[in-house]
Amino acid sequence: MNDLRLPRGVLALSQRTHVMGIVNVTPDSFSDGGLYHDERAAIDHGLRLADEGADVLDIGGESTRPGAEPVAEDEEIRRTAPVVEALAAKTGLAVSIDTTKAAVARAALDAGAQIVNDVAAGRADPDLLPLVAQRGAAVVLMHMQGTPRTMQQDPSYTDVVTDVRDFLAERAAAAQAAGIGRDMIVIDPGIGFGKTTAHNLALLNRLDAICALGHPVLVGTSRKSFIGAVLDGLPVSERIEGTAATVALAIARGSRFVRVHDVGAMVRVARMCDAVLNG
């Protein structure tokens, strides 16, 4: 497992699992109902996640839930840049901007972000990967079939693990060709993004095939619908145990980077998994 180099430090993923806490500055998030779309509320929430042990704070201003509509880039910047600036300054943690747009990423990097988390893996905006390279930032490249508006209509694969692995290998190569260092690239299989429940379970069960690509693997299962589907229709508010199980399994299969809402609980899960795996 390789460490992740950042503009101002290193995430020592080879030593322990790191936890990325989610800060949605959106009115229509699937997971929190837009509780933190107000700037002050979002900052306070990020500070709480930092206190709970988050290693990275991921700030997003555009919902990527199934069926979500796009947000104009100026609105996305308005939502996210002040939150990025405040949390980077107040916590000292690495801050990530969750966006597909180069203009939004640029504003966030100007405000202190060190990671660009792109659910489109650089395909939605041709300027994004060159910008990341120019600014010396790290990048997360995620697999998504379709777009948030269409991704759950009829997801289909020849073999989901092979297809996702090959896509991520190609996008990591594209990022390197754009000038991003290999040690600044994270890959994400995109659990819940254009996948059925069966696809998500297969990706988790065979996550070691994705990890074998040699890049740090970020896994985001937190509160997602496949957990509710497996657990007899549990609502979002009752999926913490299911999330914990998937986080533990992802770590056991080789991930050392997880993206979650319930930071305090998942930090404890990660610490316990690391203790077992490190003997």
CATH number of the domain that residue 260 is part of = 3.20.20.20
Q: How far apart are CA 197 and CA 50, in angstroms?
A: 31
pTM (2 decimals)? 0.94
Number of domains in the chain: 1
Start-to-end CA span in the chain (Å)? 17
**According to the model, what pLDDT value does residue 30 have?**
46
Predicted confidence band at 37 (pLDDT cuts at 50, 70, 90)? low
Q: How far apart are CA 179 and CA 58, in angstroms?
A: 23
Q: Which residues are catalytic?
A: 224, 259
CB-count burial class (<10 Å; 0-12, 13-18, 19+) for 192: buried
**According to the model, what pLDDT value does residue 156 have?**
86
Averaged pLDDT, 151-160: 82
**According to the model, what pLDDT value does residue 152 have?**
67
Least confident of 32-41, 73-82, 133-142, 190-199: 32-41
Q: With pLDDT > 90 as the criterion, what percentage of the chain qualifies?
A: 87
**pLDDT for 205-257, tens place per residue?**
999 999 999 999 999 999 999 999 999 999 999 999 999 999 999 999 999 99
Q: Which residues of 83-101 are buried (b: 16+ CB within 10 A; e: fewer)?
A: bbbbbbeebebbbbbbbbb
| Domain range for 145 | 4-277
**According to the model, what pLDDT value does residue 271 have?**
98
At residue 35, does pLDDT exceed 70?
no
Ramachandran bin of 78, using left for φ above 0, alpha for ψ from -120 to 50, beta for the remaining angles: alpha
**According to the model, what pLDDT value does residue 86 have?**
98
